[in-house]
Amino acid sequence: KHFVGVISVALTVFAAVTSSCNPQGDFNLPVFVTSGDFTIGGIFPLHYRVELPPTDYIKRPLAAQCQWFDPRAFRWALTMTLAVEEINNRKDLLPNHTLAYSIFDSCATPVTAQKAVLSVLNGQDVVQSVICSGASTLLGLIGESGSSQSIVVSRTLEPFRIPMISYFSTCSCLSDRKQFPTFFRVVPNDDYQVKAIAQLLKRFDWTWVGVVTEDHDYGRFALQGLKREIENTDICLAYHEMIPKDYTQEQVLKILKVMKESSAKVVVVFSGEGEFYPFLREFVTQNITGIQWIASEAWVTASILAETYPFLDGTIGFAIRQGHIPGLLNYLKTVTPERYPSNPQVQELWEALYGCSPSTSSLKSHLPSCTGKETLRQEHSAYMNTSSPRVTYNVYKAVYAFAHSLHNLIHCKPGNGPFENFSCANLNNVFPWQLQHYLQEISFSVSGENVNFDVKGDSIPSYDLINWQRHANGDIQFVKVGLYDGAQQTGRELLIVEQAIMWSHQQNKVPVSVCSNSCTPGFRKAVRRGQPLCCFDCIPCDIGKISNQTDCLSCPEDYWSNVNGTICVPKVVEFLSHDAMGITLTLIAVVGAFLTVTVLVIFLYNRGTPIVRVNNSELSFFILMSLTLCFLCALVFIGEPTSWSCMLRHTAFSITFSLCISCILGKTLVVLAAFTATRPGNNIMKWLGPTQQRIIIFCCTLVQVVICTAWLTISPPFPYRNTKYQQSKIILDCSVGSDLAFWCVLGYIGLLACVCFFLAFLARKLPGNFNEAKYITFSMLIFCAVWLAFVPAYVSSPGKFTTAVEIFAILASSFGLLFCLFTPKCYIILLKPEKNTKQHLMGKFTK
């Protein structure tokens, strides 16, 4: 590192010697120079551009020509002289010491800026001499405006450890302390500016923007920062064009062609006014309209652009915060050719401001001599515009930063110093690196603002949002319409007064700059292949999803999209309610129960007749009562399921049917035993008396009760909201809880029915005119057929139809039992009472 440092210093000194000490070479003369105890330099772009005439590469290039005088930059230089004079006249700041300055012109290019800083380092005197005047006493430097120039200047000063404070260089690259250890600035770096611009684009929904940058580090790093800020947003760059360093009309026309053909109506420009001015000169000729310009801080307050190009009205951008400089306007008025008769820059300023050659001028000019009646030229009115100093105020702060640092250095107390052995700086031989130590720690107030630097040499990030508005009298005004404060919480940095903004072409409506219009509700974006994300087609959302104009979002589980796909509405809750189907099933169940009760009444009324008494009338009454409950339990299946209804519907159904089938089983056994008992020596009937029949019925029913009890205890049925079967509906049904228990219940009923069917089938050919076994066989056949058909229908039926199928199975099997078992008996009781005799029933009736 030491070797590299020595080589760097040697090369810099060599460059300084060859550039400034060659008596036949070209060197910069200072614009202003004074003497004092401590010297600080200043470099300002007093001209826009250096134009190099054609050169013969064999011979040495001709001297560069600075052109396009910049009165605004000249005002910056004069602000430095004003600040130094103020400080020298103060008693509380640097008492008994004076500041000196040496100000040079950079011509707004890195090459000339390097020449200027080498001239400052070599202590060039105003009077040209063939002998080098030796090393200067430079302690610090104020400059430069352009980031590319500041990079060159900082790297030139770094081997000498001379601190510099920039008043207008914003490139984020300059915050790198490893590359630029002596660089400070009183302007925020571009990381904050691009954050502010990105938030501005988001605020106004500008998702399709073009970017134009200068071909320097300032433009390159600003573009990188902007891309980084918009990386995860909906903002896309339609194009990025770079104003070439070596300005040619052909290259600029290519850029303008891209801008003209692009649909982007918002253009962000990162460029200094010197590079942007000739670009706009060509822009005027291309008839490009409808552009909303977003200005970087480098040109957002450039009055010369605002006054020269009216189509820039409505431009909006972030400017560094303004301040107050007392007495600046009056001081500028004192800078006249009479006061500086030998200063060519003052003579040039006068010609630029008033369009005439002062009588004291030593320059050759084609302009007429001044008469004293001339007025300030409109295109250079920026020189006298001190109403809202911004860059000018930064120069003012930079001078005071050096002054306060020197003040603290001077008042260091030996033994409490910051250097080796707690020593202080030698006031007779102050080194620049000693001044930098105090500069890093400085904190002071100027014009009510606190000034300090962070560890990277940056100042507090803060911007004003400026809007270019032209008044009725034609005057352009830079109106503050908002601010950006980087010290605020994330998301609250940007504040905009939208009502105060005047957009391009005197419009009050926010311009639109999108590649594709936002999708209407119910549609989503579909990115076009090979194009940026901001260019898309709009396609309808899938059913069950709604759009937020970006993507389709699924509705919550209990919601569904409306027809247009714009909002989520509650899903239709479907269950077997008392609608047409529910009422129909209810009526059928009630009719079935009524018919069963009617049969029961008929049997009770005729309970003494043979046909009722045959095969134990008590069992017939039990069957009729259980069938009534079977019909009525179907009603529990209708209506919104609840915890109690879900448990009741399955248990009631299973127990009542088990009771009914158990009674039929008992009757079948009695029929079979009755005819078997007629054989000699058979005493089976004594084992199937009324008591035994009740025990059989009770035990068969008890098994089902035990199964249901275990079911309700371990995993009872519960209400279930099924959102998977039909996505647009919520099917509210009863989950069986335990599938095993459910099928055990049905299986047990089926087992009883099969046993009953088998026994009845065996007794179907027994003698007698009224063999009840035949009707039991047929009823069990119907019962089994219904419930066998129920299984596939139950599994495949959707929604409320599942419940309807179960109700239908209950009702169909109940009606089958009722009609098959009791219709023949009722027929005899009501229509054929002559057959209601014991002889006829036993088959012994004869003519």
For 425-487, what is the HEC assignment?
A: CCCCCCCHHHHHHHHHHCEEEECCEEEECCCCCCCCCEEEEEEEEECCCCCEEEEEEEEEECC
Contact of 394 with 459, CB cutoff 8 Å: no
Token pair of 775 as six digits: 């009707």
Contacts of 518 (CB under 8 A, 6+ apart): 549
**pLDDT of res. 60:** 37
How many CB atoms are located within 10 Å of the residue 558 CB?
Answer: 12
Of residues 798 and 654, more confidence is placed in: 654
| Paired tokens of 542 | 């899938």
Distance CA 194, CA 217 (A): 15
Per-residue pLDDT of 585-628, as tens digits, reads 999 999 999 999 999 999 888 888 888 876 567 888 888 999 99
b/e code 76-100 from CB counts within 10 Å (16+ = b): bbbbbbbbbbbbbeeeebbeebebb
In order of 221, 802, 823, the CA distances from 796 in angstroms are: 67, 8, 34
What is the rounded CA–CA span in Å between residue 722 and residue 476?
68
Whole-model pTM over 0.75: no
Q: How far lies 14's CA from each of 7, 46, 135, 154, 372, in Å?
A: 10, 27, 13, 17, 48
d(CA 26, CA 37): 29
Maximum mean pLDDT: which of 21-35, 432-446, 754-768: 432-446
Q: Are 627 and 660 in contact (CB under 8 A)?
A: yes
Between 23 and 83, whose confidence is greater?
83
Contact at 8 Å (CB) between 807 and 592?
A: no
**Segment 183-200, tens digit of pLDDT:** 999 998 888 889 999 999
What confidence score (pLDDT) does residue 66 get? 67
CB 671 within 8 A of CB 773: yes
Least confident of 131-145, 318-332, 344-358, 828-842: 131-145
In terms of C-beta distances under 8 Å and separation of at least 24 residues, what long-range contacts does 787-791 make, across chains too?
Answer: 787/746, 787/749, 787/750, 787/753, 787/813
pLDDT at 769 over 60: no
d(CA 120, CA 16): 10
Which string of DSSP letters, residue by residue, matches 372-416? S-----GGGGGGG--SS-SHHHHHHHHHHHHHHHHHHHHTPPTTS
First to last CA, the chain: 141
CB-based burial label for 825 (10 Å; 0-12, 13-18, 19+): buried
Q: How confident is the model at residue 305 (pLDDT cuts 50, 70, 90)?
A: confident
- With H, G, I as helix, E, B as strand and everything else as coil, classify residue 151: helix
Q: Which two three-digit tokens encode residue 551?
A: 């993507």
Res 293 pLDDT > 90: yes
Q: Do 235 and 209 meet the contact criterion of CB atoms below 8 Å apart?
A: yes
Decide if 673 contacts 686 (C-beta within 8 A): no
State the DSSP code for 321.
Answer: P
pLDDT at 133 (0 to 100) = 44
Spatial neighbors of 627 by CB under 8 A, at least 6 apart, are 596, 660, 814, 817, 818
d(CA 446, CA 458): 17
- pLDDT per residue as tens digits for the range 799-835: 678 888 888 888 998 898 888 888 888 888 888 888 8
Rg of the chain's alpha carbons, rounded to an integer?
51
CB atoms within 10 A of CB 183: 25
Residue 541, pLDDT score: 87
Mean pLDDT of 687-711: 85
144 prior amide bond cis, ω within 30: yes
Q: Where are the beta strands (DSSP E) in 203-280?
A: 208-214, 236-243, 266-270
Q: What is the pLDDT of residues 657-688, one digit of tens each?
A: 899 888 888 877 877 776 665 555 555 555 66
pLDDT on residue 843: 60
User: Is the distance from CB of 644 to CB of 625 less than 8 angstroms?
Assistant: no
Ranking 192-201, 253-262, 458-467, 668-677 by mean pLDDT, the lowest is: 668-677
Q: Which residues pair with 414 in a beta bridge?
A: none
Q: Can you give the pLDDT at residue 805?
A: 86
Check: CB of residue 315 under 8 Å from CB of residue 332: no
The confidence band for 481, taking pLDDT boundaries of 50, 70 and 90, is very high
Contact of 721 with 669, CB cutoff 8 Å: no
Asked whether residue 393 carries a pLDDT value surpassing 90, the answer given is yes
Question: What's the average model confidence in pLDDT over 285-293?
Answer: 89
Q: How many CB atoms lie within 10 A of CB 29?
A: 16
345 vs 754, which has greater pLDDT?
754
Report residue 17's pLDDT band, with 50, 70 and 90 as the boundaries.
very low
Instruction: Read off the pLDDT of residues 355-385 as tens digits, 9 standing for 90 and up.
Output: 777 766 656 666 777 776 667 666 566 678 7
Burial class (CB in 10 A: 0-12, 13-18, 19+), 1: exposed
Q: Which candidate, 445, 432, 483, 441, places its Cα nearest to that of 462?
A: 483
Q: Write b or e for each residue in 679-715: b if 16 or more Cβ atoms lie within 10 A of its Cβ, otherwise e.
A: eeeeeeeeebeeebbeebbeebbeebeebbeebbeeb
28: phi then psi, degrees, rounded to nearest 5: -85, 135
Beta bridge partners of 237: 209
H or E element at residue 152 = helix 147-157
Asked if pLDDT for residue 89 goes beyond 80, the answer is yes
Rounded Cα distance between 832 and 841, Å, is 12
pLDDT at 365: 66
Per the document, the length of the chain is: 847
pLDDT of residue 354: 75
- Residue range 546-571: mean pLDDT, rounded: 82
pLDDT tens digits along 516-544: 888 888 888 888 888 888 888 888 888 88
Mean pLDDT along residues 380-398: 84
Does residue 117 come out as left (phi exceeding 0), alpha (psi in the -120 to 50 range) or beta? alpha
Smallest Cα–Cα separation from 542: which of 524, 558, 527?
524
470 falls in which pLDDT band (50, 70, 90)?
confident
The pLDDT of residue 519: 82
* Helix, strand and coil percent figures for the chain, each rounded to 5: 45, 15, 35
Between the alpha carbon of residue 465 and those of residues 160, 266, 500, the distances in Å are: 39, 16, 11
Q: Read off the pLDDT band of 468 (50, 70, 90).
A: very high
Neighbouring-strand partners of residue 496: 482
Helix intervals (H) in 566-642: 580-605, 610-613, 617-633
pLDDT-based confidence at residue 508 (cuts at 50, 70, 90)? confident
The string of DSSP codes covering 17-78 is IIIII-TTS--PPPSEE---SEEEEEEE--EEEEEPPP--TTSPPPPPEEEEE-HHHHHHHH
Share of the chain above pLDDT 90, in %: 26
The owner of tokens 């830079």 is 478
- Round the average pLDDT of the chain to a whole number and report it: 82
Q: d(Cα 630, Cα 627) in Å, to the nearest integer?
A: 5
pLDDT of residue 679: 55
- Residue pair 729/573 in contact by the 8 Å Cβ criterion: yes
